[in-house]
Structure 1
């Protein structure tokens, strides 16, 4: 159990190191306004904190830096919520003022805001495909040989898929197909489209289209395309500008990991709902062991959930970052819920 004096010294060391990125010595601590102890007393307490594993010495410097254990204790027990500035709040509110934005644009804006306000790398994972439903389908002919299928989901996501149209299918058949699909597939989860297409739609197509075989193959290709993870990244290179990442091998390793979108998506899906903080070796990837990953969830309707993540150095401004993520996830949730209520 840490004494009140040790708690204060630990907090001062971490707060100072977060802002300066420089080891903190006893003399510097003794000059801080809220510290009333002598340098000798501070040195003794720092020695005890180091022995307990909360701080550590770097090279030959007399100063100390927080350890992963120190950061963990700081986040769990010493962190005070930071009130965001009016400017920060205005930036966030302005971004969500336009309620007509589609899902894709809202998420892209959110990723950009988070990376801009923190100078870290933001990653936002879209809702699970298992929870996403088809709302509307349109097929727009471009010419005699090609068309675009436009899929709109209940989350506001719009996807365009260009396809070659078999010569045997004419415009009247396309119109019939769209009407049948919207009647039978609206509200169906994307992962169930395959089953519904075969069980319910195929027989109707057989009755109402002249070239059933070609029409069905066309639809199968348009609707059953593999659904990639929906990952949106902001400030991809921001984290590489931090003092901790001057080592080129570290930079290459970390940047390579950020590029592996499916692995990142799997990592974000594994977190529980709410806000989670993983520091250093708590992260499963070797490339992230000098990093902190903070995740927060946002909701789309009652059952659908996405994830906001921020990747930065362990020397992260935790109180401000956590406040930003809480406000942003709340704004995203409120925006998407307003869509559902207006439907």
Structure 2
């Protein structure tokens, strides 16, 4: 059981260290407002160290929070910092631009959040379950490559360059476009996903002698639509702190950012609101010196999205949590406004 003074000492120590990155000693705590003698504070620091909430740095007489200490601080002492009107205005101004597609807003949100914090930011848009396929186009690049452009009714646009197998002719591509327009346009993505595994293979066998090649082509074209797109910004920011002992460790973490499945499992929170995981709580040795702050947000009638920040365990949790709370609300409101504008343009047309 910690006394009120010990709690105050610990809370101030966490605050000072996360703000400055400098190990904290008894004199610093006295100057920070702790009403006790240097000897008393040192005794309390020993008590906190025995409880494994703080640890001593070998090259200094100061202490720093341990992973267990950060967990205790977050669970029992932390309060999200107030976000100033100037910072809120900066967020709104950063979003204030024209967007040609909804996923552009999701992508931009990751960059804004990374710029605001100097950490690595992730952004995952609202769920795709109810989206419908509204347009499909093929644009030839050369004799072997095409661009597939897929548009859904929620303003999402996906484009992908793919290579056409030698066994597939230009007339085969035309048949493919006709099948998609006749069978898939106007259907929900879940229905499209189901038909690609049931009805479409049977149709391809009927129309193509090389049906296996055409089925692979269909799957290549639509694969990215069903993959949740996680936008990453500021991956190199992890190099700005002394987290990694060598560059190979950084490269291993950086490679995680391109693995959509693993990244999705990592950043999607287990509960609504803001969630903070520290080091080993992420069950990944690569991330043992990092912390992840994730937050879900709701977009009316369009599902839930996620934003997340990955940074050192010494991040300023109160400041970042306050910022993330404001940011997710601003992003939600901006997306809702965008969806309303899409609805208005569709009704007027």
TM-score range, shorter chain: 0.7 to 0.9
Structure 1 position 204, deviation (Å): 9.4
Where does residue 317 of structure 1 map in the other structure? 316
Where does residue 169 of structure 2 map in the other structure? 166
Within-5 A mapping of 1:1-343:
1-32=1-32, 34-59=33-58, 61-98=60-97, 100-128=99-127, 131=129, 133-142=131-140, 148-162=147-161, 164=164, 166-168=169-171, 177=179, 179-181=181-183, 184-190=184-190, 192-196=191-195, 212-213=207-208, 220=215, 223-225=218-220, 226-227=223-224, 228-245=227-244, 247-248=246-247, 250-269=249-268, 271-302=270-301, 304-342=303-341, 343=343
Structure 1 position 230, deviation (Å): 1.4
Note the alpha carbon deviations across 1:130-166, whole angstroms, 9 max, x for none. Answer: x253331232454896754321134432112446573
8 Å CA contact 2:280–2:288 kept in 1: the answer is yes
Sort the Cα spacing of 1:81 and 1:143 in 2 relative to 1 into closer, same or farther, 3 A: closer
Structure 1 position 110, deviation (Å): 0.9
Between 1:102-111 and 1:249-258, the stretch displaced more is 249-258
8 Å CA contact 2:133–2:189 kept in 1: the answer is no
Sort the Cα spacing of 1:161 and 1:101 in 2 relative to 1 into closer, same or farther, 3 A: closer
- The CA distance in 2 between the partners of 1:283 and 1:110, in whole Å, is 24
The alignment partner of 1:243 has SS state of coil
- The CA distance in 2 between the partners of 1:94 and 1:156, in whole Å, is 22
TM-score (norm 2): 0.81
Structure 1 position 249, deviation (Å): 5.4
Structure 1 position 330, deviation (Å): 1.4
- The CA distance in 2 between the partners of 1:308 and 1:150, in whole Å, is 26
Sort the Cα spacing of 1:222 and 1:96 in 2 relative to 1 into closer, same or farther, 3 A: farther
TM-score (norm 1): 0.83
- The CA distance in 2 between the partners of 1:221 and 1:109, in whole Å, is 32
Between 1:79-88 and 1:8-17, the stretch displaced more is 79-88
Note the alpha carbon deviations across 1:31-54, whole angstroms, 9 max, x for none. Answer: 22x222111111111111111121
8 Å CA contact 1:169–1:215 kept in 2: the answer is no
8 Å CA contact 1:139–1:178 kept in 2: the answer is no
The alignment partner of 2:323 has SS state of helix
8 Å CA contact 2:55–2:66 kept in 1: the answer is yes
Sort the Cα spacing of 1:332 and 1:101 in 2 relative to 1 into closer, same or farther, 3 A: farther
Aligned length: 333
Structure 1 position 316, deviation (Å): 0.5
Gaps (5+ residues) in structure 2? 344-349
Structure 1 position 271, deviation (Å): 3.2
Gaps (5+ residues) in structure 1? none
Sort the Cα spacing of 1:261 and 1:82 in 2 relative to 1 into closer, same or farther, 3 A: same
8 Å CA contact 1:144–1:167 kept in 2: the answer is no
Note the alpha carbon deviations across 1:43-78, whole angstroms, 9 max, x for none. Answer: 111111111121111215321111112111211222
8 Å CA contact 1:161–1:222 kept in 2: the answer is no
8 Å CA contact 1:155–1:336 kept in 2: the answer is no
